[in-house]
Amino acid sequence: MKPYSRREFLSKSLSAAAAVGAAGALQGCPEAPATPVNPTDVAARVCTIRGRDLAEMTRQVLAQWGGAETIINPGETVFIKLNLMSAGLMSGNIMTRGECTKLEIVIAAAEECLKAGAGKVVIGDAAQVDRFSWDTITTLDGTVSFTEEAQRLNTLYGDKVQLACLGSDSPAWIEIPSPYTNLGTIRISSLVMDADKIISIPVMKTHMFTKVTFSIKNMLGVTPALGIGIGPLKSRMDMHAAAGGIEQSFLDVVTALKPNFAIIDGSLCCEGNGPGALGGFFSNRVDMRERLGDFVLMASDDLVAADATASRMIGQDPAKVKHLRLAYEQGLGQMQEDLIEVEGESLDSLLVEWKEACLAKSLPPGVENIPPYNCLKFSR
């Protein structure tokens, strides 16, 4: 039987998921529906590499995996989801701040997909604003922009690369089911829905709400920054107050989209109360060259295994990270260390000290009583 496309799958399951509804969403803190418990016993594989040249490291870690041709088929559309958290918000070279996916990794991955025969590669993120300038987002040394690199690839491979600010460039927003929150549905960009394969390329960061943010939480950025919430602000922040919390919200996105591959950017990163490197109490930039001696990349077709391995690298127990535990329980991937084979650099050789997120321990008095944030699920 021919497998359903993402769009076909969602059209068949949407009405059933919507039946869960959003009734009572604004009446106190909603209770989450029971989630499935069906953990996998399938072993997973994570490839790791150290070095200083991020583009070359990307090519090498993909080759270590077996090449981009093991991820995509000729003619397919590939959506690369990067994290551009501060795009359009901060001045200067945002790539040096530690909160954004590096251009060198994304463009190298895109070119490997084109070499493998991809029919189209869309590079996109909804970020925090509807539109940002790809002209001003550059390599770490500031010499080449995303726009210039996309033009280079289009010249070489025949106009197959698109840069997309999802907030303004999405032709449509498609409702996907959110059966394990009270949202009923969540909207995602049609550019993601229409892709044959999805590659998530996040930055290694700790997070004030979710303890860590890697390839799974990165998929939250395919939703619009505004207009999807359940509270009066109608913003992405309102998803934190949904039944099941922000974690189940983006797990429902991952369940529907089933991303195919992850490459975790361990170069300039963010520790403490991220996801933005704001300094002081909130968060600080981490230059992995200073902490480990090199940059590091992790790659896998199992996003849970990749994120669990990255969590262990920075001293976080995946079993104590709510969304990783739930992802494992819901059968989205492997979390158990003895069932994850780490190839390349050993995990022991990559362990680094990391300042954990601790915002919940320092909330100002009274915040917990302000709707809809009285329902926020902080990491503890």
Angle between helices 322-329 and 245-257 (to 10 degrees): 40
Listed in sequence order, the DSSP H helices in the chain are 6-18, 54-65, 103-115, 146-157, 166-169, 190-193, 245-257, 288-291, 303-313, 322-329
Q: CA–CA distance from 374 to each of 21, 95, 194, 379 (Å)?
A: 21, 34, 36, 14
- Residue of 263, 340, 341 lying closest to 59 (CA atoms): 263
Q: Do the strands 211-213 and 184-189 form a parallel or antiparallel pair, or are they unpaired?
A: unpaired
Is residue 342 helix, strand or coil?
strand
Cα 60–chain centre separation: 22
Q: Domain residue spans in the chain? A: 45-375
Question: Nearest-CA neighbor of 379 among 353, 354, 361, 364?
Answer: 361
Residue 322 token pair: 């709510």
203-207 and 261-272 as β-strands: parallel, antiparallel, unpaired?
parallel
Task: Tell me the C-alpha to C-alpha distance, in Å, between residue 284 and each of 192, 212, 254.
Answer: 31, 14, 28
DSSP string, 254-322: HHHH---EEEEEEEEEEEES-SS--BTTTEEEEEHHHHTSSEEEEEES-HHHHHHHHHHHTT--GGGSH
CA torsion, points 65, 67, 71, 76, in degrees to nearest 10?
Answer: 170
Q: What are phi and psi of 53, to 5 degrees?
A: -100, 100
**Residue whose C-alpha is closest to residue 327's, from 310, 347, 302, 309:** 302
Distance CA 205, CA 276 (A): 9
Q: For residues 112 and 118, give the distance between their C-alpha atoms in angstroms, rounded to a whole number.
A: 9
**Residues 372 and 241 sit within 8 Å (Cβ to Cβ):** yes
Answer yes or no: are the C-beta atoms of 201 and 105 closer than 8 Å: yes
Segments in 158-268 forming alpha helices (H): 166-169, 190-193, 245-257
CA-wise closest residue to 153 among 167, 170, 134: 134
What pTM value is reported for the model?
0.89
Can you give the pLDDT at residue 237? 66
The candidate with the shortest Cα–Cα distance to 49, out of 257, 343, 297, is 297
If 0-12 CB within 10 Å is exposed, 13-18 middle and 19+ buried, where does residue 169 land?
middle
Q: What is the pLDDT along the chain (380 residues), one digit of tens a residue?
A: 344 454 554 444 433 333 333 333 334 566 778 899 999 999 999 999 999 999 999 999 999 999 999 999 999 999 999 999 989 888 899 999 999 999 999 999 999 999 999 999 999 999 988 899 999 999 999 999 999 999 999 999 999 999 999 999 999 999 999 999 988 889 999 999 999 999 999 999 999 888 999 999 999 999 988 764 454 444 576 677 788 888 999 999 999 999 999 999 999 999 998 888 888 778 899 999 999 999 999 999 999 999 999 999 999 999 999 999 999 999 999 999 999 999 999 999 999 999 998 765 555 555 444 444 445 544 44
251: helix, strand or coil: helix
Pairing of strands 161-165, 211-213: unpaired
What residues does 270 pair with on adjacent strands? 205, 285
